[in-house]
Amino acid sequence: MVLEGEIARWKGFAEALPIGSDKEAFEELMNSCRCYASAAGAAVRPIVSEVMFMAILLAQQKEIGRNKAQLEKLEVGNSHKQ
């Protein structure tokens, strides 16, 4: 409930974003926050936005890791072709 209230407070920001990829990216970030809601509750942080930012950072870090692994796989594949 608290998390959804904080997300709702960002509604003005979301509405000011240009239509398209920015809005989609913002929604993905908010969904990342929702995915980590139970961890956020366990953190017992009085400032909800701190927990949101940590959830977003965690989701971004995981994505970076997936991208790095995929890139390494492609690089290995390309080195075998040469």
Give every CB contact of residue 23 below 8 A, 6+ residues apart in sequence: 14, 17
CA 72 – CA 7 distance, rounded (Å) = 36
Q: Write down the pLDDT at residue 13.
A: 94
pLDDT tens for each residue of 22-66: 999 999 999 999 998 888 878 777 788 998 999 999 999 999 999
Tokens 């400032």 identify what position? 47
Q: What is the pLDDT of residues 48-58, one digit of tens each?
A: 899 899 999 99
Cα–Cα distance between 20 and 80 in angstroms, integer? 39
Q: Where are the domains of the chain?
A: 2-81
